Chain A
Amino acid sequence: GEDVEQSLFLSVREGDSSVINCTYTDSSSTYLYWYKQEPGAGLQLLTYIFSNMDMKQDQRLTVLLNKKDKHLSLRIADTQTGDSAIYFCAESRGILTGGGNKLTFGTGTQLKVEL
């Protein structure tokens, strides 16, 4: 079955760049997502990338996809204390599963931003 893996923790200093990594096993993954979860809250979509793309940039966020290695990364430039949260990588096959937008999540990476 599908498997999505992430490291559990990352600590950076305010102003530095953060890079959160994710690997997945399903070669049929069509969409790859990054979600952010702040303490006591639900998940919020940050960005997503279609599998035929290798990079997507959105303000301070850069997503890189290496489809050959099944590796996805999220770079946050100029990391701020407000970026402290858990970041989840997720994948879906989209409509090809026949089950709609079924997401498989990684374990989440706890990002801690220190002053």
Chain B
Amino acid sequence: NAGVTQTPKFQVLKTGQSMTLQCAQDMNHEYMSWYRQDPGMGLRLIHYSVGAGITDQGEVPNGYNVSRSTTEDFPLRLLSAAPSQTSVYFCASSDFPGGGTEAFFGQGTRLTVV
């Protein structure tokens, strides 16, 4: 039972490069989300999806794109990496409509932009 799988675990990018952080879950969860974790700031929601084909912006969406073509996958794209995007990124999934249900988190992707 894999749960939520994120790849890669570590990544170094040069400013201006683009990349995609992968997230996959095998629990048939409708709700998936991406957070970034920065020291002293907790986790901030980037984008979320309440089902295949439906995405919406969270608190800090600028510089990131998402898509949800299947229930299982929710990739996060950095269009043109900036040093301010150096962070640890977490993908999470949970049942929808949610509320009182557990959000399962991936192990995180540590991204450094130089």
Given A8-B40, A88-B42, A88-B43, also A95-B98 (CB < 8 A): yes
The tally of residues in B whose CB lies under 8 Å from a CB in A reads 31
Residues of B within 8 A of A88 (CB): 42-43
Residues of B within 8 A of A93 (CB): 99
Given A100-B48, A101-B94, also A48-B100 (CB < 8 A): yes
Please, what's the 1-or-0 string for B41-75, where 1 marks a CB less than 8 Å from any CB in chain A?
11111001010000010100000000000000000
B99 lies within 8 A of A95 (CB): yes
Interface presence of A102 (CB below 8 A): yes
Interface footprint category on A: 20 to 34
Please, what's the 1-or-0 string for B67-107, where 1 marks a CB less than 8 Å from any CB in chain A?
00000000000000000000000101011111111110111
From B44, B48, B103, A99 is in contact (CB under 8 Å) with B48
Please, what's the 1-or-0 string for A9-52, where 1 marks a CB less than 8 Å from any CB in chain B?
00000000000000000000011000000001111110010100
Residues of A within 8 A of B107 (CB): 40-42
A107 lies within 8 A of B41 (CB): yes
Given A88-B42, A107-B40, A107-B42, also A100-B30 (CB < 8 A): yes
Q: How far is the CB of B2 from chain A (nearest CB, A)?
A: 13
Q: Which residues of B contact A (CB under 8 A)?
A: 4, 30-31, 33, 35, 40-45, 48, 50, 56, 58, 90, 92, 94-103, 105-108
Supply 9 A–B pairs (Cβ within 8 Å), ascending by A.
A31-B99, A42-B105, A42-B106, A43-B43, A94-B100, A95-B98, A101-B95, A101-B99, A103-B45
Q: Which residues of A contact B (CB under 8 A)?
A: 4, 6, 8, 30-31, 40-45, 48, 50, 88, 92-96, 99-108
